[in-house]
Amino acid sequence: MNLGFLIDNRKCIGCHACTVACKSEHEVPIGVNRTWVKYVETGEFPATERLFSVLRCNHCEAAPCVDICPTSALHYRENGIVDFNTERCIACKSCMQACPYDALYIDPDDHVAEKCNFCAHRIEIGLEPSCVVVCPEEAIVFGDLDSDESEISQLVKNQKTTVRKPEKGTKPKLYYIDGKRASLDPSITKPADQYLWSEQAKGVGHFSHFAEEKSSENDAGDLLIQLAMEAGSKTEKRDFGRKIAETLRSGDPRTVYDSPSKGVLWGWEVSAYVWTKAISAGLFLMTFLSRQLGWAEISSATNTVSLWSSMGFLLVTVALLVKDLDQPKRFLYVILRPHWRSWLVKGAYGLVTYGGVLTLLLINAYLNLSDLWWVEWIGSALALFSAVYTAFLFAQAKGRDFWQSHLAPYQMAVHAMLAGGAGVIILTGSISTELVFTLSGLLLLNLGMFAFELTSSRLTDDAQKAAEMILSGRYSVPFWTSVFLTRVVPLVIFFTGLTILPDQILAVAMLIGILVTEHIWIRAPQLIPLS
């Protein structure tokens, strides 16, 4: 049995019965939905059209949420359902980045990721899913895609059907008859913060506590939503209201009803963890290389300080990782209930091993048991792994096109080494010519990769939107400032040998620069709506 859904848009009247029946069956809290109906309008009066699309989990055959889930909370059932087990979930929210269809949410009561599970509890005893039962128009068809006789197979065979974002390679099993691109491809329409009969004022799901705290001012939830909402509209000038009116006149597709935005799920903790991890790993690596290649004079005392610093930043990294979980107490599940395909698991094991090596070397630093040169080599490899694995994790986040860059691991390595170089400068209080050359090379590489990642002709629409947001949109100021002050200025100083700034200030600037650009890199793609 290979279960799938089909929405027959010839019949769907956009009545939201499925939305509410699902809420009732699964007692889904307000603000979040397992299935919902989006309205998109196209054309100009009187040729205006309103399109309805029922959106939900696609029960993909190659589900990115299953791949990325570190604890197999998300998994396949034998009947083809992509199901979940809330007891396993650590609420890392990576599934919400991985799913290209925006199917998951954080349940504000249980603090775990949930989504449509095809009413697996009903399917098992032979009952149709609730949405199928309630639909006044029998527009939601479900059944066995492997059986030729099933209604769904017949419809897929005999009618023209479409799926959402087939290019993601997820093999979705939610088909649409008469699925118009304007309504299934969110990149075509502009998101908004108000719709024809609703308006979002507060965060939902993971962010619903902002509503609960009644914090009407300085509401971070608001801010996040605002950001997500404005993402598509690039925010060049403030009179974009007039632009909206122009857009309407031009008859472009526009979203006129949608479920509330779930906001940016990976916040500062994730940016910070990437940064602290880069420092921890980079410092170890650069200290090691400096010693091996004579880039800097590293005394054994300095080496110990470096080790301690790496350890410290590693611990902060872990603390940030744990803090970012909505189920922090289940942190150990990543290690103890591992799902090996998830890069979160691979990374966690890498960090743990790296931490073990650091511990060993620190003990040795005080006890001087033996020359553990080979451990340092292993440590360097693990540091490099720790620095770059997040790029592979981000690549598993299939929902975020901008993170699919092949250069990402290299960029993370470069960032780590720059951070490590900066660390070495701070620790040693000086900078050698060799290190200047190394750092200059890294900075040039860094800039080159920025240029490529932001302007590559191979960027998808969504990736391009993120790139535009960085180059000329809402993140252009911090981005260009950081490029100029923390990449170009150091380069100029390195090349010219000017001594206008103390080396340590330069190093701190470089560290801050890395934080800023990583933050932008992590944030911008999350502002692009997935559904």
Q: Which of residues 137-196 bind another protein (CB under 8 A)?
A: 137-139, 192, 194, 196
Q: With contacts defined by CB under 8 A, how many residues of the chain interact with another protein?
A: 98
Q: Three-state DSSP class for 256? A: strand
Distance CA 181, CA 49 (A): 13
Backbone angles phi, psi at 401, to 5 degrees: -60, -40
Piece of 55-63, 367-375, 388-396, 441-449 that binds another protein (CB under 8 A): 55-63
Looking at this protein, which amino acid is placed at residue 182?
A
Q: Work out how close the CB of 435 gets to another protein at its nearest, in angstroms, rounded to a whole number.
A: 42
Candidates 70, 100, 179, 260: give the one binding another protein (CB under 8 A): 260
Q: Residue 328, class by beta-carbon neighbours within 10 Å (0-12 exposed, 13-18 middle, 19+ buried)?
A: middle
Q: Which two tokens stand for residue 114?
A: 């949930």
Taking the least distance from each CB to another protein, the nearer of 2 and 317 is 2
In whole angstroms, the minimum distance from the beta carbon of 259 to another protein comes to: 9
**46: enclosing H helix or E strand:** none
Surface-to-core class of residue 122, CB atoms within 10 Å of its CB (0-12 exposed, 13-18 middle, 19+ buried): middle
Q: Measure the CA–CA gap between 484 and 495, rounded to whole angstroms.
A: 15
Q: Number of C-alpha atoms within 13 angstroms, CB side, residue 159?
A: 19
Torsion, Cα 72 75 77 80, to 10 degrees, reads -160
Where in 13-52 is the site for another protein (CB under 8 A)? 13-17, 19-21, 23-27, 29-31, 41, 43-46, 48-52
Shortest Å distance, C-beta 397 to another protein: 19
Identify the residue among 166, 169, 212, 294 touching another protein (CB under 8 A): 212
206 contacts another protein (rule: CB under 8 A) = no
State in angstroms the smallest separation of the CB of 119 from another protein: 7
- Residues 397-416 binding another protein (CB under 8 A) are none
Return the number of the residue (45 or 374) whose C-beta is nearest another protein. Answer: 45
CA pair distance 175, 166, nearest whole angstrom? 11
Q: In this complex, which beta carbon is closest to another protein, that of residue 250 or of residue 370?
A: 250
Distance between CA atoms of residues 222 and 200, nearest Å: 9
Residue pointed to by tokens 């799901």 = 205
To another protein, the closest distance from the beta carbon of 125 in angstroms equals 5
Query: Shortest distance, CB of residue 78 to another protein, whole angstroms?
Result: 5
Nearest in space to 447 (alpha carbons), one of 422, 410, 498, 476: 410
Of 31 and 420, the one with the shorter C-beta distance to another protein is 31
**Candidate ranges 11-19, 178-186, 305-313, 401-409; the one touching another protein (CB under 8 A):** 11-19
C-alpha 453/C-alpha 506 separation (Å) is 25
Query: Is residue 346 helix, strand or coil?
Result: helix
Mark residues 61-80: x for contact with another protein by CB under 8 A, - for none.
xxx--x-----x--xxxx-x
> Under rule CB under 8 A, which residues in 322-341 are in contact with another protein?
333, 335-340
